[in-house]
Copies of this chain bind each other. A is one copy, B any other.
């Protein structure tokens, strides 16, 4: 994800306005490695800006995602998580505490896929399930 300053320009360039709510969310997401849910981010944002709406958090995250600045991660339980890391990477999720971390996978592009039957593949998501160091 771009820096808050760059996002400010990018939003204006797209005819979108830059509001205090959006600037706050830019800052909270920039460099964020927690893969937060919309609700988790809403809680964080509410500390600095009481009264901000959960709806606004969803809106802004969706805008960022459609600009390609965020990725949506679905770990198969609970709410979708938002990821400012748009590099080619994958995830490991702790079955116990739900913690999600980035992992970088070598060999993912050389997987041999049998049974495609005419399907063409555009992208690959690899999710590792396990236990984090704390929950081990």
Contacts and interface: CB of A to CB of B under 8 A. Distances in A.
Query: Copies per complex?
Result: 2
A74 B93 CA distance: 14
Interface in A113-136: 113-133, 136
Interface stretch (A17-25, A59-67, A101-109): A101-109
A13 interface: no
A51 interface: no
Interface residues of A, number: 39
Interface string A70-111: 001010100000000000000010110000011111111011
A110 to B, nearest CB: 6
A12 interface: no
